[in-house]
Amino acid sequence: MKYKPALFAVLTAVLLTLGGAMGHGVQARAANPDDPAGCPTCLDFNPRLEACTVILVGKNASTDGSVMTTHTCDCGLCDWTFRRVPAKDHQPGEMRRIFYSDQFGTWPPDLGLKWDRVPVDGFTGLEIPEVPHTYGYILGAFGYMNDKQVSIGESTIGNVEKLENNTPAPKFDITMLTIMAMERGGTAREAIQVMGSLAEKYGYGHTDSGEMLAVADPNEVWLFEIFPVGALWTPASGKPGAVWCAQRVPDDHVSVCPNESRIGEIDLNNKDYFMASPNVIQLAIDQKLFDPKSGKPFNWKKAYSPNDVSAASTAGARVRLWRFFNLVAPSLNLGPETNNMDFPFSVKPEKKLSVQDVMNMTRDKCEGTVFDPARGLQGGPFSNPNFLPYGFKLDDKAYNTPRIIGVNRAEYVTVTQARKGLPDPIGGIVWLAMGFQDTSCFMPLYNGITEIPRGLQIGDHFEFSREATRWAFDYVDFHTQVVYSHAIQDVRAAQQKYEAPAVVRTPMVDKYALELYQKDPAAAAQYLTDYCLNNIAAVTDAWWKLGDMLMVKYNKLWIYDVKARKRAPLLFPDWYLRLLVEQNKLTPKETDEH
């Protein structure tokens, strides 16, 4: 395609217009959270129902035998801080305080760090007996991996309105449940039973509605879904305070949850693949969500969280489910018009997935499809897939825009690996990309680390800080968005320099850590801690420098060649210039005959 010199004033106007539309979307009012057939990326959006994407990979579906989960923490306003909570032994009679933690809440830094305040400010009034030993774990918005490699990824799925319970009667929200799973679950199955039993006894809901968790260990991965049971529930009712169901992903399969309930028909006699609360069907009957006389089998998602739409019918607002199956099993020929309720629970991928494949999948933007948000005018002259991340209204009409997997409001993204054949401190890895994964870099946090760097424990959306690790990645992202098609190439080069080698050298790190562990587990823990912290420091420093470089290279919407000390104009595509001529009624200049 032929390019011509830039018209900078016009570009600025276009960027300001699109940026204004983006801001307008963010400030829009929330839609009814119980209308899953609505437009989740239109102006009437509900961020709680389109927040996160979770990918689940069985051990025989991965290239190295690891069990993987992901969590794209797609919020845009949530707390992004991390901690390492140590294991602890407890004396008989000790009690565990239960607290609420609204996953969408943030606090000004001068009020203190989230995990210092929430356990006190959010105390529910409930204390339960401690267990003799609680596992240590890595904690972000949720618990992500504990000492036994039990790992978690989260996605909000919503539920029918009559199940909501926003009263103080339920004492558990989803964050607290993941923390209890981390502290008390030695396997994925144990973690599920811990969460399910506590939610049944003490109630689930408060600030949360329907939620899904990927729950994994080195042997298997389960998809766990939980809903409140209605605002009239109290502990005195004698009935379960939650309804939940879990389905195991076959070892050679992969699955996904893109903010939609994924469990369909269930077989509770098959205990190796299904677990559920005792009210799993009866609640649906009582709430008139399922008629046992209909002759139809009970279907979990149709009863509690139906989503009767498709990628095509929502113009891409619900494209992630189709896109995932399109990526991992294209020969199934599942078209975008396929109803989301009809997709299989899981599928055997046509090629096994590496951890780098999964990282790349979290960055997917439906490239090459009609749902690619960078195509045509939406992406602007520099093919930016991040313009109009929400739908919009114009002349009293609502329009959808695609809601892709790699959306630019991520607080961070995790890819967990649970690996058998290695001691738990070495076998477990949480790969962490701070900020938007597209312009960030996945960094390993081995399960055996004893501390988290200070830069990951601090930071806030509304106060810039060079001490907060997250801001280094936002700094790069900010400079990338302006001239995306150019700057993203510089970012990709940095990812190849820092992310790809970290993935490749994992076996070498494993080997040396294992040799140390066999002689002195404490020495292995120190080695892994030093390795992870040094890597994070190096990547963070590199990203600050990358941001500086992007600022200089694309300053004032030119291209500055530092070595040659020259500048050249950015080039705009012909299609854009033709639209400019048409829209502004420009006329060509007269031919200079002299």
Which of the four pLDDT bands, split at 50, 70 and 90, describes residue 36?
A: very low
Nearest one of 484, 458, 362 to 74, comparing CA atoms: 362
Asked if pLDDT for residue 186 goes beyond 80, the answer is yes
User: What pLDDT sits at residue 21?
Assistant: 30
What DSSP character marks residue 217? -
Tell me the average pLDDT across 250-262: 98
Element (H, E) at 68: strand 67-74
Asked if pLDDT for residue 69 goes beyond 90, the answer is yes
Nearest one of 423, 416, 411, 425 to 355, comparing CA atoms: 416
Provide CB contacts within 8 A for 472, sequence distance 6+.
Answer: 434, 466, 540, 543, 544, 547
Asked if pLDDT for residue 573 goes beyond 90, the answer is yes
Among positive and negative, which fits the CA dihedral 189, 193, 194, 195?
positive
User: What pLDDT sits at residue 108?
Assistant: 87
Average pLDDT, the chain: 91
506-519 and 484-504 are packed helices; what angle lies between their axes, rounded to 10 degrees?
30
Which of the four pLDDT bands, split at 50, 70 and 90, describes residue 109?
A: confident
Nearest one of 136, 99, 94 to 115, comparing CA atoms: 99
Asked if pLDDT for residue 26 goes beyond 80, the answer is no
User: What pLDDT sits at residue 389?
Assistant: 85
What are the pLDDT digits (tens) for 118-156? 998 999 999 999 999 999 999 999 999 999 999 999 999
Asked if pLDDT for residue 347 goes beyond 50, the answer is yes
User: What pLDDT sits at residue 592?
Assistant: 65
Asked if pLDDT for residue 43 goes beyond 50, the answer is no
**What DSSP letter does each residue of 96-130 carry, written as one string?**
EEEE---TT----GGG--HHHHHHHHTEEEEEEEP
Placement of tokens 């990979």 in the chain: 57
User: What pLDDT sits at residue 510?
Assistant: 98
Asked if pLDDT for residue 360 goes beyond 90, the answer is yes
Asked if pLDDT for residue 209 goes beyond 70, the answer is yes
What are the pLDDT digits (tens) for 387-412? 988 888 999 999 999 999 999 999 99
Cα 570–Cα 575–Cα 580 angle in degrees, nearest 5:
80
Distance of CA 463 to the CA centre of its chain: 23
Asked if pLDDT for residue 68 goes beyond 60, the answer is yes
Do residues 104 and 77 make contact, with C-beta atoms less than 8 angstroms apart? Answer: yes
593 or 592, which is more confident? Answer: 592
Asked if pLDDT for residue 462 goes beyond 60, the answer is yes
Distance of CA 276 to the CA centre of its chain: 25
User: What pLDDT sits at residue 50?
Assistant: 59
Distance, in Å, from the CA atom of 423 to the CA atom of 278, rounded to the nearest integer, reads 36
What are the pLDDT digits (tens) for 301-332? 999 999 999 999 999 999 999 999 999 999 99
Q: Please, is 207 exposed, middle or buried when counting C-beta atoms within 10 Å of its C-beta (0-12, 13-18, 19+)?
A: middle
User: What pLDDT sits at residue 350?
Assistant: 98
User: What pLDDT sits at residue 11?
Assistant: 33
Among positive and negative, which fits the CA dihedral 374, 322, 155, 308?
positive
Which of the four pLDDT bands, split at 50, 70 and 90, describes residue 579?
A: very high
Distance, in Å, from the CA atom of 289 to the CA atom of 83, rounded to the nearest integer, reads 41
Cα 586–Cα 377–Cα 325 angle in degrees, nearest 5:
165
Give the count of beta carbons closer than 10 Å to the beta carbon of residue 112: 13
End-to-end CA distance of the chain: 31
188-202 and 174-184 are packed helices; what angle lies between their axes, rounded to 10 degrees?
130
Phi-psi region of 295 (alpha: psi -120 to 50; beta: other; left: phi over 0): left
Do residues 189 and 156 make contact, with C-beta atoms less than 8 angstroms apart? Answer: no
Asked if pLDDT for residue 594 goes beyond 70, the answer is no
Asked if pLDDT for residue 231 goes beyond 60, the answer is yes
User: What pLDDT sits at residue 103?
Assistant: 87
Give the count of beta carbons closer than 10 Å to the beta carbon of residue 2: 7
Provide CB contacts within 8 A for 134, sequence distance 6+.
Answer: 87, 88, 90, 183, 184
| pTM for this model (two decimals) | 0.91
What are the pLDDT digits (tens) for 466-497? 999 999 999 999 999 999 999 999 999 999 99
Asked if pLDDT for residue 380 goes beyond 70, the answer is yes
Tell me the average pLDDT across 521-546: 98
